[in-house]
Amino acid sequence: MTIDATLVGRVALATAMLFSTPAAVAAESDEQERATIEVTGYPDPQGLLPDQIAPKAVSSIAEAFISKQAPTLNAFQLVNLLPGANVSSSDPYGLSATSSLTLRGLGQDQIGVLLEGAPQNDIGYYYAYPSQFADAENVRQIALAQGAADIDAPVVASAGGTLSLMLDDPKAEMGALVNLSVGSYDQRRAFLRFDTGEIGSSGLKGFISYSNNRADNWRGAGYDKRQHIDAKLLHEWGEGNRASLAISYNDAITSTYPSPTMADWQASGRGFNFTERYTDGDTSYWRLYRAPFRNLYFAAPVHIQLSDRLTFDSSAYLQMGHGNSPYGTQLTTTGNFLGTEELTQPIALPGAVDGVATVLGNWTGKQRRVGDVSKLTLQAGVHTITAGLWFDYGTDRVTQSYTSIDANGRPVDAWGYQNKAIRTADGRLLAYENQRTVTVTKGFFLADSIAVTPRLGIDVGFKGVSLLRNGRNYLPGPQSTVHVDSFAALPRAAVHYQLNDRQQLFANITTSFRTPNEFALYNSYYGGELVSQGTDALKNEYSVSQELGYRYIGPSLSFSLTGFHYHFRNRQVATVVNSGGALVNSTINSGSQTSYGLDGEIDYRPAKGFSLYASGEYLHTRLNDDLLLGGDLLPTKGKRAVASPRFQFAVGSTYDDGRLFGSTALKYVGRQYATFMNDESIKGYATLDLAIGLHLAGLIDKQRTDLRLNAINVTNPRVLSGIQTISSNAQDVIGRNGTLIAGSAPGYYVGSGRAFVATLSRAF
């Protein structure tokens, strides 16, 4: 094989361009909302900032950018450079479930996540886990709405906006794609996709893919394994009618990385890890912190054109999942309790020495969720009227039990199944937590989009959502059942004005709500005593937000600027609490909060195939109330919100001349407070990713063949990248009423290390 001199020149030119400023992508969302604006000049090779008429802030990344990134990256990592997105990931490959995304300072339990229109958030705790999402090769677009969720989105806790993944449609022709990757930390990944093409003359086509990924932990002992299947079946007929079924299955065993306190970090740095070799009595052995999970998602969106003026849309979905978040702990043969009941008979503990045994503590969850959101849309003169219903039914079975380990520290059963768990002398399951919760969500919405003039549009809408939780606590004690029922009225309005063919103004006001997660409903017991009182009297969070924005879409330059303002009542902040040794997702009510700021992004295309991009955010937050702790008030009024950096920015570039391609991406995140008292924080930090590759089609044969090298976090800064466990105050504080309020240490994410990934991609 020979390569001519022009290729060498292209390599030199592209390298200079790529390192001149790093790359990101951002775009406005949703092809259905694009205006028919035509521009001349240099269209962006990644479709950055496409013409958009949505009256809200939206950014996105498209398949052309995603295909240049490391195929191991998850959806959170891929949107890291968009305005307002602050991502903390425990490992460079995005395999671990220990990760975080905040938007405008709002945590991932405030961000609705959708795949093909189906919700991906946990119904009990509102978290979404990006390591379980679809493989990057199958994702056509990831849209990030930083503030306002669509009125028909089947999400509850979405004050922070929505993250929407759209799968690639099956190809019109039969074919296959194979990706093979190797990388740092003995990373190995294989991906295979097969497209059926149109099946006969039925109009039906589909694809199915399988991937297998494995990598050693980048710090400490252990390794991660992930197997994943995606599939999509699509039928299109008539004028715009389409129905599809998307399936995503994930089977993984991933590591939980320990989160240091500030003292741990200063003492050990990246050396703060679980132990590599097991010794008797060691509860920090790495094999006791490997989490197995299996998840299966179905989504079935349908769009039918009933007449020239009336359409019907339906998005049915089904989720099933089961997994364990284990930890190491010790049990004694005597002195145990089940809820408030004292166990008078000793329990059998294999391997016990002097009545004490090291065991695997299980925090198992089994979820089932089914739902549908359907709507009718009527075009009546200048009015576009939408009316719809949403129904969602979910069950969550949570058990915290214990399983024996062998003499080498290996769990007898890593999944925490009850048939292998430790039991009481009379055969009952020995459990610290044992409950089942049913959540039923019902919603309706009505909206009208009014074309007042060809340039001026006004949207008004109302959404009502009812959320009911019924639960059963199976532990002996005063609590057997729980019940909470709430309703939220969610009005909204928006205005869009097109100044000319290239300039737009928009403004909106949106409301959102969030109920406390199910953890808050149940009693917790330790040593037979009630240590945490479950309650159904906690108030819902309610927020009102406003946006005012400007967009410009030019021949070689596009940009957008959005100002935003939020006011929260009963602001609920995501954290992690220690529940009998397990780290469990929970929330803290921090009272009233006000936030405002500015998001911006700009895309400049000075030459064909070359794009420069920059985004940034300024965020101001203020707590309006003191925090009630016990019988006193922590003086937090006027403090800044946790995990809310005042400044973030990203700069970047992309290049693709048909032979050579690449991208670079620089992200800076400012200082973040970890306590409500603002008495402990992490410093600002920056990360840099690089990618370079060759399109080999034409050099070997005409089939698409790409070779690329990705460098993740190439500068390898040794930093704390985010806050996992929030604290009210790190130092001792005197409350408003004179009580000494003891400090407690927050826990942090450790910024992941440098990694290199080489990928060969071949189409057939």
Query: What residues have CB less than 8 Å from 387, skipping those under 6 apart?
Result: 375, 376, 444, 445, 446, 447
Measured CA distances, 551 to 399, 497, 499, 604, 607 (Å)? 50, 10, 10, 14, 22
Per-residue confidence band for 31, with pLDDT thresholds at 50, 70 and 90:
very low
- Six-digit token pair at 506? 């928009």
477-521 pLDDT per residue, tens: 999 999 999 999 999 999 999 999 899 999 999 999 988 888 888
- Six-digit token pair at 276? 């590599």
Domain 5-326+362-400+432-763 adopts which CATH fold?
Answer: Maltoporin; Chain A (2.40.170)
Q: Is 427 left (phi over 0), alpha (psi -120 to 50) or beta?
A: left
DSSP 727: B
Q: What pLDDT score does 32 carry?
A: 38
In this model, does residue 44 exceed pLDDT 60? no
Q: What pLDDT score does 573 carry?
A: 65
- Which pTM does this prediction carry? 0.88
In this model, does residue 16 exceed pLDDT 90? no
State the average pLDDT over residues 625-643.
88
Measured CA distances, 92 to 22, 216, 475, 501, 654 (Å)? 18, 11, 40, 42, 21
Q: What pLDDT score does 188 carry?
A: 96
354-399 pLDDT per residue, tens: 999 999 999 999 999 999 999 999 999 999 999 999 999 999 999 9
Q: What pLDDT score does 46 carry?
A: 52
100-156 pLDDT per residue, tens: 899 999 888 889 999 999 999 988 888 888 999 999 999 998 999 988 789 999 998
In this model, does residue 575 exceed pLDDT 80? no
State the average pLDDT over residues 219-240.
94
Return the half-sphere exposure (C-beta side, CA atoms, 13 A cut-off) of residue 369.
30
Going by C-alpha positions, the residue among 400, 708, 726 that lies closest to residue 589 is: 726
Task: Detail the DSSP E strand segments found in 325-382.
Answer: 327-332, 337-338, 341-342, 356-361, 364-380
Per-residue confidence band for 3, with pLDDT thresholds at 50, 70 and 90:
very low
Alpha-carbon distance of 352 to 603, in angstroms, equals 64
DSSP 285: B
Helix runs in 311-462, H state only = none
| Domains of the chain by residue range | 5-326+362-400+432-763
Q: What pLDDT score does 304 carry?
A: 96
580-629 pLDDT per residue, tens: 554 444 566 677 899 999 999 998 988 888 889 999 999 999 999 888 88
- Tokens 């927020």, located at residue: 543
144-189 pLDDT per residue, tens: 998 878 999 999 888 888 999 999 999 999 999 999 999 999 999 9
- How far out from the chain centre does Cα 699 lie? 40
pLDDT cut 90: percent of the chain above it: 70
Longest dimension (CA), the chain: 84
Q: Is 115 left (phi over 0), alpha (psi -120 to 50) or beta?
A: beta
pLDDT cut 70: percent of the chain above it: 91
In this model, does residue 205 exceed pLDDT 50? yes
Alpha-carbon distance of 348 to 645, in angstroms, equals 51
The answer to whether 76 and 130 are in contact (CB under 8 A) is yes
In this model, does residue 1 exceed pLDDT 50? no
By the 10 Å C-beta count (0-12 exposed, 13-18 middle, 19+ buried), 333 is classed as middle
Query: What residues have CB less than 8 Å from 220, skipping those under 6 apart?
Result: 255, 257, 258, 273, 274, 276, 286
Task: Detail the DSSP E strand segments found in 644-684.
Answer: 647-656, 660-669, 672-673, 681-682
3-state secondary structure of 177: strand
Q: What pLDDT score does 19 carry?
A: 38
User: Which of 28-42, 534-548, 621-635, 721-735 is predicted least confidently?
Assistant: 28-42
Measured CA distances, 371 to 123, 244, 302, 486, 755 (Å)? 12, 16, 14, 19, 40
Alpha-carbon distance of 676 to 262, in angstroms, equals 16
| Higher pLDDT pick, 577 / 518 | 518
Return the half-sphere exposure (C-beta side, CA atoms, 13 A cut-off) of residue 169.
15
258-268 pLDDT per residue, tens: 999 999 999 99
List residues bridging with 557 in a β-sheet: 604
The answer to whether 218 and 753 are in contact (CB under 8 A) is yes
State the average pLDDT over residues 449-457.
95
Going by C-alpha positions, the residue among 363, 423, 390 that lies closest to residue 584 is: 363
List residues bridging with 564 in a β-sheet: 547, 597
Mean pLDDT of the chain: 88
Gyration radius from the chain CA atoms: 26
Alpha-carbon distance of 39 to 265, in angstroms, equals 52
User: Which of 17-31, 425-439, 626-640 is predicted least confidently?
Assistant: 17-31
Q: What pLDDT score does 587 carry?
A: 60
Q: What pLDDT score does 18 carry?
A: 41
